[in-house]
Amino acid sequence: MTGHNSDAAVGGIAADRLRSIIERVERLEEERKALQGDIKDIFSEAKSAGFDVKVIKQIIRIRKQEPADVEEQETLLDVYRRALGM
């Protein structure tokens, strides 16, 4: 049998479906790399403008959290600082 039948199941696996899934993930990984490069460029821009990148990243992490969780963490941080005399 010559030729390539991409619709055929090979070893019980739908080859076209598998190829499609893999190629979609590969495209998304490439997009993620490009986005990570864009984010890095923005942080470089922030640093050039005199902003502290570590603090910006911390703010971004905080903004992803629920407000109640942030408040609880800030309260505990304050309690711990006072306990240490800071």
> DSSP character for 66?
-
| Domain definitions of the chain by residue range | 7-51, 52-86
> Buried (b) or exposed (e) across 27-61, using 16+ Cβ within 10 A?
eeeeeeeeeeeeeeeeeeeeeeeeeeeeeeeeeee
The tokens 């049998």 sit on which residue? Answer: 1
| pLDDT given for residue 6 in this prediction | 52
pLDDT at 80: 97
Rounded average pLDDT per 10-residue block, the chain, 86 residues: 57 89 98 97 98 97 95 96 96
Residue 4, pLDDT score? 54
